A = this chain, B = another copy of it.
Amino acid sequence: MSKRISTFVNPIGSLDVLSKYEVELLTDANHEELQRVFRLCALAILNTGNTSDNSKHIIEQHRDFDVKILQTDRGVKLEIINAPEDAFVDGEMIRGIQEHLFSALRDLIYSHNLVLNSGQFDLDDSNGITSANFHILRNAGVLNPVKYLNLVVCWGGHAINRLEYDYTKDVGYHLGLRNFDICTGCGPGAMKGPMKGAAVAHAKQRIVDSRFIGISEPGIIAAEAPNPIVNKLIIMPDIEKRLESFVRLSHAIVIFPGGVGTAEELLYLLGILLHPENKDLPFPLILTGPEESREYFDQMYKFVELTLGKEATDLMTVIIGNPEEVATHINAEVRKVREYRKDKSDAFFFNWRLHIPYEFQQPFPANHEAMAELNLSSNQPVHQLAAHLRRAFSGIVSGNVKADGIAAIEEKGPFKLKGEQFIMDSLDKLLRSFVEQKRMKIGSDEYDPCYELV
């Protein structure tokens, strides 16, 4: 076991000033759940460089880890107990990690007060949820009136191979040379590569205000420790709010090879874009990877074609083995987005006009009952089928890497999924290919499926 370090850290960024009321949230016996979640996020953040993606295992390994809050003359201070030593250099916490710690605290407190303890937003209403998301993002400092549209969201697996990883760096590099900032889910693999590439390009272009935005949520953060290149870490309250944040912030989305998580994200986006209200809204969506990953995209493309039809594949641009083309293509497409937003007086920094139906916003509890009830059949509008497919993938992600998902599977066995034959066949084929290509979990020589298609 590696060494542990205990120390005190001062706040960085906007969180240096807490009210007594907020300090109580973190010290008071009434708010145990918030404290548990913060402890979990703090551990994930400090566990940088860790290579496991099994949240349950990580938590068990660090039973003696803790974090406490103290009030001082210049503001608050955190006491860190038994933190993994990789977060420190010569006993001092790496500054990027320190920032992440306080970003997590900022978001948890704000979400707690705004979303749970305030009647301000109607969370049973689509507009209410969007409004809540907007406020959380604004409080996190990522909504700024900008002149340019330059935020590319990159999705893709945390467990990709070296070739694919280098490819994501290359795409990031060519985007970075063109002044694009990067937003990802903030873990390793395809979530880190584009940022690394863009960071080098930004250095060459002397861009000093680069935004490397990582958006996580309490359930996933432990399995995907935020990489320290992320300079804006945001913890959204749940997976659906995280997904909405991605699509409302982005000016274009790139999908790299990945596994079920990436499939969840693609289905989520397609489901929204297929909604009739979003028909004319320009939204650049590029699937890309190295020549060696062509097979992966072929299968994904076929799956979408078979289940959601040509209308869906028309929304996707596939570019294989050409990072520079990805960047120039996005450059051209984003110009159209800009024109559209100017034309409609829509904000550059938040995609208000995109309609996200309530079923894509509603938190999906990834348990056996909910999974069993999914309607995976063609007797519904495509965007609704996409919503159900998205949830199926979401459940599998949970069963693979999230602490409570893993516990549920250990207790009750695999999730059961059922539906129309041709859909189940497509799904089966896709999931098998993920297993074969080792895209399910990190370091899993033998992947033990957490689902059954029935």
Given the contacts A119-B119, A134-B19, A345 and B73 also touching, CB distance less than 8 Å: yes
**Complex: A143 Cα to B121 Cα, angstroms:** 27
Q: Say which one of A283-291, A347-355, A415-423 lies at the interface with B.
A: A347-355
Task: Determine how close the nearest CB of chain B comes to the CB of A431; give it in whole angstroms.
Answer: 36
A120 within 8 A of B: yes
Contact present for A346 and B73 (CB under 8 Å): yes
The residue on B at minimum CB distance from A130 is B20
**Complex: A89 Cα to B135 Cα, angstroms:** 36
Q: Say which one of A93-101, A164-172, A357-365, A399-407 lies at the interface with B.
A: A93-101
Near B by CB (< 8 A), chain A positions 239-291 give: none
**Complex: A18 Cα to B73 Cα, angstroms:** 33
A27 within 8 A of B: no
Task: Determine how close the nearest CB of chain B comes to the CB of A275; give it in whole angstroms.
Answer: 19
**Complex: A331 Cα to B199 Cα, angstroms:** 27
Residue with the highest number of chain B CB atoms closer than 10 Å, among A74, A119, A138, A349: A74
Contact present for A228 and B204 (CB under 8 Å): yes
Contact present for A229 and B208 (CB under 8 Å): no
Interface string of A182-200 (1 = CB under 8 A from B): 0000000000000010011
A206 within 8 A of B: yes
A294 within 8 A of B: no
Contact present for A345 and B71 (CB under 8 Å): yes
Task: Determine how close the nearest CB of chain B comes to the CB of A267; give it in whole angstroms.
Answer: 27
A30 within 8 A of B: no
Given the contacts A17-B143, A96-B205, A342-B73, A89 and B178 also touching, CB distance less than 8 Å: yes
Selected A-B contacts with CB under 8 Å, 26 pairs: A16-B145, A17-B143, A17-B350, A19-B131, A19-B134, A20-B131, A21-B135, A71-B347, A73-B345, A74-B145, A74-B347, A75-B145, A75-B347, A89-B177, A94-B177, A94-B204, A94-B205, A97-B204, A113-B120, A118-B119, A119-B119, A196-B200, A199-B203, A200-B229, A203-B228, A203-B229
17 more CB-based (< 8 A) A-B contacts, given A90-B178, A94-B205: A17-B347, A20-B127, A21-B121, A21-B135, A71-B345, A71-B347, A73-B342, A73-B344, A74-B146, A89-B177, A90-B331, A95-B206, A96-B203, A196-B200, A199-B199, A199-B203, A208-B208
